[in-house]
Amino acid sequence: MKQLQKLKKRAGFTLIEVITTIFIMSLLMILILPNIHRIREFAEQKQSQAFFQNVQNQVDLFRGQYPEYEVTLPNLLEHGYISKAQAEQINREKILIQGNQIKRGS
């Protein structure tokens, strides 16, 4: 009977248990969040490099198919070598088309 009364008194968490749990969760967040940020930056950098290489490949394909045309962003769009979304990203990333090569602008 006394054991049953002790169990009824201990229905919730104590303040120390709650504070300890919050502290451990905070500590884990402090350790995890910087790594997530670093991983996100690394992924964005790799995506940008892949996009840059993709645009260079599209320029090379265009030059092979249409040697008589100048390689410009409007010509690539007109002939379907890049989409409007890709053209917008080219402008956002300040990629310049110069001759047969592309370069990052400042």
In three-state form (DSSP H/G/I as H, E/B as E, the rest C), the secondary structure along 66-97 is CCCCCCCHHHHHHCCCCCHHHHHHHHHCCEEE
When divided into structural domains, the chain yields a total of 1
Q: pTM for the complete prediction?
A: 0.67
Q: Is the Cβ–Cβ distance between 93 and 104 less than 8 Å?
A: yes
Question: Span 39-56, mean pLDDT?
Answer: 94
For residue 2, being part of any structural domain is answered with no
For residue 59, being part of any structural domain is answered with yes
For residue 47, being part of any structural domain is answered with yes
For residue 75, being part of any structural domain is answered with yes
Residue 1 has pLDDT above 60, yes or no: no
Domain extent, residue 30, equals 14-104
For residue 34, being part of any structural domain is answered with yes
Question: Span 68-86, mean pLDDT?
Answer: 93
For residue 53, being part of any structural domain is answered with yes
Which tokens sit at 55? 């645009």
What is the pLDDT at residue 37? 86
Question: Span 4-31, mean pLDDT?
Answer: 82
Q: What is the DSSP string of 16-67?
A: HHHHHHHHHHHHHHHHHHHHHHHHHHHHHHHHHHHHHHHHHHHHHHHHHH-T
Residue 9 has pLDDT above 90, yes or no: no
Q: Which long-range contacts (CB under 8 A, 24 or more apart) does 63-66 make?
A: 63/100
For residue 87, being part of any structural domain is answered with yes
pLDDT band, residue 33 (cuts 50/70/90): confident
For residue 8, being part of any structural domain is answered with no
Q: Is the Cβ–Cβ distance between 102 and 56 less than 8 Å?
A: yes
